[in-house]
Amino acid sequence: MLMPYHVQPTLYMLVPAKMKRMNVHRILVETILKHDLMRMMLVWLLWEINLCDFSRGERTDFEAAAEPECNSAETNFYSNNGDDTLGYSKVDHKRSSMDGWNLTSQKLIDSFPLDPIRQNYVRQVRECIFSAVQPTPFKSAVTLVAVSKEVVEDLLDLDVSITETQEFIQFVSGARVLPGMISLAHRYGGHQFGVWSGQLGDGRAHLLGVYVNRRGTRWELQLKGSGKTPYSRDGDGRAVLRSSVREFLCSEALNYLGVPTSRAASLVLSNDDVKRDQFYNGNVKNEKGAIVLRVAKSWFRFGSLEILAYSGEIELLRKLVDFVIEQYFPLINATSSNKYLEFFSQVVTDTSYLIAHWMSVGFAHGVCNTDNFSILSITIDYGPFGFMDYYDPNFVPNTSDDEGRYKIGNQANIGRYNLDKLQKALNPLLDPMQQLLTEQILKGYPDLYQTKFLELFKAKLGLSGLDNNDGYLVAYLLKLMEDTQADFTMTFRQLSEITKQHLKVNNISEEYWALQDLAKHEKFLDWINLYLLRLKRNAADSDEARIIRMQSVNPRYILRNWMAESAIKKSERNDFSEVHLLQKILRHPFTKQTEAEGAGYSSRPPPWAKDLRVSCSS
């Protein structure tokens, strides 16, 4: 099974017998009724919890692809409240100049104490959320490798022509400070590979400021690879070209796949030498430095809360969580005594949905540490990620992960582990009864995840309505795929392209190469018969409608490792053509494209793809 959850008795059990979503308030009611002394709380507790019984993840499948704001999958997940005092969101058009286009960190600075030490050197920092520190420009000239027109124009209100100016290139490479801009490095901690690592923080990232666009949406702009900060530890504060190309492409690719994610506005390359031991084997090489301008609603993560709880800075912890609730969770009553409980409930739900979405496209994050998990449940901190080629629940994209802790088949369990650490970080803000209730909320995580997982995979198979055997049908297919090492993406895609009649008579032509691999299994026809029988139970559904529906959720193109590697190798020779081609193709992953077919992006991966290795070094 793609994602066996550890509480399940068998490896291939996808979902519990009940297919309905577990409501958080039902869990709490059952808990409360077991305790006489708690019954009096039932009425007000249900009132408070129902305020947050919505879910930002509970839209129709891949609905985000049809939403405004650059088709951002996260656009309507969070509050669009802007800071009216900023003034610059009044523009109702794309700017043709950066004059008057300003960023500010003032709300963050006013809300939290800043690190009192302004010198930029590595140290342990306490009693603050941010340190004020400027990016370090490259010494050599920089080249603009790529920009996301959609991010620049639709999120940041800038005409894409601006990206050709030196003014813009200097800004996105950390060499230009806009009027009033105070850049910040965020202090956070985290559990890394299951061990508390203490202070971590933005060791090579600078938050340039907040921009509220013409739609009133708040975006935080951050440079990655922009130099040392107090949190750099033993690092040099830089990022190299190979990892930056991967982050730029994948953050945009996931967005167009409908997966909540941070965005990438630009990628610049320098000739500065950055020394890296890519595979930690003593082979140190000089690589080219690069910077990505990243955009997200917020960069707060689980570790933002953990560092404060571990350091005993409880009032600052309370101030941070209150800020997060007020700024990003508008449906939670900020004056409620139960607001932290509601906040945790929402993060549990959204985290489960995020990981289910990762699984639906075969994406493995690679380093699911608590410092890499967003409080807003978006995909952040792209490192040694990977999309599966052939189906393998033990797929580990990170060669640094010797024990396979973050293999794709363990991501849901790791989500549960990380949420447990978040719950512990919140405990100082909760009374004993609320602590008990957060434990009950967390127990609902498996059902939330499994229900969303099944919903997404039913859509991938074109199944509508309810059927108690749908979980079995999905699990059966995944087992066949595992046994035959059938390609994950193209198996589902080709099922969405082939007709039922061709399946019925087992007429599978060479163009359906992934299905041909699957058909080698002795149980293939048994599964096909079950599948066709289930499709008949789709109410008033034609084969043409099924095909259209399935192709809208099953991508033909994903950012496979071999594609990224090919683009990186060319970029190292200052040939950015494949970066641009991939960027173009991945904007429309569900649509068959002539250029993509010519490049082999939907063909069987080349043999050398199996030997690719990606590490934490970046």
**pLDDT the model gives residue 421:** 98
**pLDDT the model gives residue 88:** 40
Pairing mode, if any, of strands 386-387 and 130-132?
A: unpaired
Q: Which residues of the chain have pLDDT under 70?
A: 1-92, 279-281, 616-618
Q: Locate 262 and state its tokens.
A: 């941070």
Report DSSP state, residue 215: T
**pLDDT the model gives residue 9:** 28
Residue 275's CB is within 10 A of a number of other CB atoms, namely 11
CB 576 within 8 A of CB 246: no
CB 229 within 8 A of CB 202: yes
CB 295 within 8 A of CB 223: no
**pLDDT the model gives residue 268:** 98
Report pTM.
0.87
Out of 154, 157, 371, 447, pick the active-site residue: 371
**pLDDT the model gives residue 221:** 98
Report DSSP state, residue 599: T
The DSSP bridge partners found for residue 196 are 191
Q: What is the pLDDT of residues 336-362, one digit of tens each?
A: 999 999 999 999 999 999 999 999 999
Q: Is 83 a catalytic residue?
A: no
Helix (H) or strand (E) holding 207: strand 205-212
**pLDDT the model gives residue 38:** 37
**pLDDT the model gives residue 327:** 96
**pLDDT the model gives residue 512:** 98
**pLDDT the model gives residue 92:** 60
CA-based nearest residue to 289, from 240, 242, 227, 247: 240
CB 271 within 8 A of CB 318: no
The DSSP bridge partners found for residue 295 are 221, 263
Q: What is the longest distance spanned by two Cα atoms in the chain? A: 73
Q: What is the pLDDT of residues 216-241, one digit of tens each?
A: 999 999 999 999 999 999 999 999 99
**Residues in contact with 488: Cβ distance below 8 Å, sequence separation at least 6, in sequence order:** 362, 388, 389, 390, 391, 481
Cα radius of gyration rounded to whole Å, the chain: 24
Pairing mode, if any, of strands 263-276 and 285-296?
A: antiparallel
N- to C-terminal Cα separation, the chain? 32
**pLDDT the model gives residue 128:** 98
Q: What is the pLDDT of residues 497-544, one digit of tens each?
A: 999 999 999 999 999 999 999 999 999 999 999 999 999 999 888 999
